[in-house]
């Protein structure tokens, strides 16, 4: 008898979060400035992957929006020069002066209208069209394209000193557990009292086993890989991580370095198994980081769990914007051009002419970093925060989201524990010590009863206070503990 088929409820597009951010960069001046200075052209720092986000697509749309802004700026410069020079025509005919000034102002209005209409049209299309977001904007410079594409398969994360933990870009820490060391010299005994043969193994063997067996149950949207986490001021010590001392760290290193981080962990570089479950088109992300190490025949394991909540509402398309369609885009662009053309011509700040307030601090940071490197001083190449983490809404309180995060955590936890136990049995190790800890471990997961209390606060000036340390305003980007803030992105920067 064939199983009854039921109608499918609507599901999230797998590119949801990517499209939201591609939409936002056309609408939010400060957001695209932030992306330009921290993703496309970072000041001698690594770029942290943004889980559930195609940074190549977001970078392309950000660069496209920025190019339109530059066209407007150049056009306005010529228009201002024309207006300043038009009084010279008084010697010929005052009427010509009036006509030339009027023509220049009409040109300015047309330039502002084109900019507003183009921004809104691109923002609308990336949400409504079926084409992949990456195909709706031209490619970046090949070097940048290659670097952002490589981030999808990165096996090394370079994190800034002062973060508090290495798992930048992962959001809020939900739970951490450290297993009591397990004696691997004790062989298991079967029901007949016969001891099993112990099979030698090392941390690399266990890491590989977990990376290949944890996802074998078929988790939806689960990505598993081993990654080396390196503190930024230690980057020079890892061969191949800095192909150019005056450039950002490479997104990948040799596999032997990743294995070395498991076999020979140091205070500055260690390898973790990274399990990332992408939910709701990237609007929710649950991450688990596991590390195993052996010392004097004792096996230790640590496990950390994080989650990323949905993107802030300020970056999402509004219902009015979507319902208005192309007619609404034209009407709103017409109104903005009428309202802002004269202020822009005379140099006033408007939502369509906000100065790049991030350029100066990041330029200074780049200059200071180059000077330190030239003098032979140690430079921190570490990333401070991911784009996805910077735009997350940590005050979310949606029941379905809470349930999905907690369920994912418990599923991953159960599969992890099962795999560790299976590995110990396969290698003849007595797992009684491990089983004795299971109840305590499971209880620690059961105590995760809410995910609404965020550990990140985004202030009006774009400040972040997070579990990874304090993330200050970009204008304060000096010193190890001071971080790249997210874009302020308030209403004044949305148009």
pLDDT band at 205 (very low <50, low <70, confident <90, very high): very high
pLDDT at 411: 85
* 351-to-128, 189, 357, 433 alpha-carbon distances in Å: 24, 72, 13, 62
> Does 420 score more than 70 pLDDT?
yes
DSSP H or E stretch at residue 43: none
> Is residue 219 predicted with pLDDT exceeding 80?
no
Q: Enter the pTM of the model.
A: 0.83
What pLDDT, on the 0 to 100 scale, is given for residue 87? 63
Q: What is the Cα–Cα distance from 55 to 63, expressed in whole angstroms?
A: 12
Q: What integer pLDDT is reported at residue 270 of this predicted model? A: 95
- In sequence order, what are the beta bridge partners of 157? 229
pLDDT for 191 beyond 80: no
Instruction: Locate 81 and state its tokens.
Output: 């020069």
Q: What is the mean pLDDT of residues 92-104?
A: 74
Tokens of 376: 């032979």
Instruction: Say how far residue 43 (Cα) sits from the centre of its chain.
Output: 17
CA 109 – CA 29 distance, rounded (Å) = 19
pLDDT given for residue 141 in this prediction:
92
pLDDT value of position 456: 37
Separation between Cα atoms, residue 152 and residue 253, nearest integer Å: 14
How far is residue 268 CA from its own chain's centroid? 22
Integer CA distances (angstroms), 289 to 56, 325, 428, in order: 25, 43, 26
CA distances from 6 to 3, 11, 242, 274, 365 (A): 10, 15, 54, 36, 57
**Residues whose CB falls within 8 Å of the CB of residue 117, separated by 6 or more in sequence, listed in order:** 329, 330, 333
Alpha helices in 375-462 (DSSP H): 387-390, 399-426, 432-446
The tokens 């920067």 sit on which residue? 493
* Whole-number average pLDDT of the chain: 81
What pLDDT shows up at residue 172? 85
Write down the pLDDT at residue 284.
85
pLDDT of residue 491: 37
pLDDT for residue 10: 57
Q: Give pLDDT, residue 490.
A: 42
- On the question of pLDDT at 472 being above 50, the answer is no
* Mean pLDDT to the nearest integer, 114-141: 93
Beta pairing partners, 470: 465
Helix (H, G, I), strand (E, B) or coil at 264: coil
Q: Rounded CA gap, 353 and 62, in Å?
A: 16
> Would you state the pLDDT for residue 89?
54
Q: Which pLDDT belongs to residue 132?
A: 92
pLDDT exceeds cutoff 60 at 85 = yes
pLDDT in tens, 342-368: 888 887 777 776 666 666 677 778 888
Q: Give the pLDDT confidence score for residue 91 in this predicted structure.
A: 54
Which run of H or of E encompasses 307?
Answer: strand 298-308
pLDDT value at residue 103: 87
Angle at 271 between CA 266 and CA 275, to 5 degrees: 150
Q: Which of 9-23, 153-167, 224-238, 243-257 has the lowest mean pLDDT?
A: 9-23
Residue 283's DSSP bridge partners are none
Query: Which range has highest mean pLDDT (92-96, 148-152, 160-164)?
Result: 148-152
Residue 9 is predicted with a pLDDT of 59
Over 90: is that where the pLDDT of 62 sits?
yes
Looking at the predicted structure, is the pLDDT value of residue 140 above 90?
yes
Average pLDDT over residues 139-145: 92
CB atoms within 10 A of CB 200: 8
Tokens of 268: 């500055």
Burial 134-173 (b: 16+ CB within 10 A, else e): bebbeebeeebeebbeebeebbbbbbbbbbebbbbbbbbb
> Rounded mean pLDDT of 388-416?
81
Q: Find the mean pLDDT for residues 412-437.
A: 89
Interval 242-300: pLDDT, tens: 988 888 899 999 999 999 999 999 999 999 999 998 888 888 888 999 999 999 999 99
pLDDT of residue 460: 31
pLDDT confidence tier of residue 483, bands split at 50, 70 and 90: very low
SS (H, E, C) 144-155: HHHHHHHHHHCC
- DSSP annotation of 36: I
């Amino acid at each position: 008898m064939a199983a009854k088929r039921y109608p499918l409820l609507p599901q999230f597009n797998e590119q949801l979060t990517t499209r939201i951010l591609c939409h936002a960069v056309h609408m939010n001046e400060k957001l695209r400035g932030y992306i330009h200075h921290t993703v496309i052209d970072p000041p001698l720092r690594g770029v942290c992957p943004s889980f559930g986000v195609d940074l190549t697509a977001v970078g392309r749309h950000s660069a496209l929006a920025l190019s339109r802004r530059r066209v407007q700026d150049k056009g306005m410069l010529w228009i201002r020069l024309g207006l300043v020079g038009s009084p010279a025509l008084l010697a010929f005919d005052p009427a010509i002066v009036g006509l030339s000034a009027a023509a220049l102002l009409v040109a300015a209005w047309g330039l502002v209208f084109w900019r507003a209409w183009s921004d809104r049209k691109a923002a609308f299309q990336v949400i409504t069209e079926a084409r992949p977001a990456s195909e709706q904007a031209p490619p970046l410079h090949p070097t940048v394209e290659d670097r952002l594409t490589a981030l999808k398969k990165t096996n090394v994360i370079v994190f800034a000193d002062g973060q508090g933990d290495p798992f930048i870009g992962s959001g809020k820490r939900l739970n951490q557990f450290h297993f009591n060391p397990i004696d691997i010299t004790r062989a298991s005994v079967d029901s007949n009292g016969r001891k099993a043969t112990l099979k030698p193994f090392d941390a690399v063997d266990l890491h590989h086993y977990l990376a290949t067996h944890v996802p074998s149950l078929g988790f939806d949207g689960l990505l598993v890989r081993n990654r080396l986490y390196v503190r930024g001021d230690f980057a020079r010590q890892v061969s191949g991580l800095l192909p150019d001392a005056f450039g950002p760290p490479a997104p990948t290193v040799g596999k032997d370095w990743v294995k070395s981080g498991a076999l020979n962990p140091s205070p500055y570089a260690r390898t973790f198994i990274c399990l990332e479950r992408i939910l709701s088109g990237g609007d929710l992300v649950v991450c688990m980081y596991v590390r195993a190490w052996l010392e004097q025949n004792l096996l230790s394991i640590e496990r950390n769990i994080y989650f990323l909540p949905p993107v802030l509402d300020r970056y999402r398309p509004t219902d009015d914007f979507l319902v208005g369609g192309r007619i609404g885009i034209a009407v709103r662009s017409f109104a903005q051009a009428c309202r802002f053309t004269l202020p822009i011509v005379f140099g006033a700040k408007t939502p369509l002419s906000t100065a790049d307030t991030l350029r100066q601090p990041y330029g200074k940071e780049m200059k200071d970093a180059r000077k330190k490197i030239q003098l032979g001083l140690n430079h921190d190449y570490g990333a401070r925060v991911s784009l996805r983490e910077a735009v997350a809404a940590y005050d979310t309180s949606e029941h379905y989201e809470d349930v999905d995060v907690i369920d994912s955590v418990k599923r991953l936890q159960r599969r992890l524990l099962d795999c560790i136990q299976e590995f110990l049995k396969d290698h003849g190790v007595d797992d009684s010590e491990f089983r004795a800890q299971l109840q305590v471990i499971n209880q620690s997961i059961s105590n995760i009863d809410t995910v609404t209390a965020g550990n990140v606060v985004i202030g009006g000036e774009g400040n972040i206070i997070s579990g990874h340390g304090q993330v200050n305003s970009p204008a304060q980007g000096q010193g190890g503990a001071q971080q790249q803030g997210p874009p302020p992105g308030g209403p004044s920067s949305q148009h």
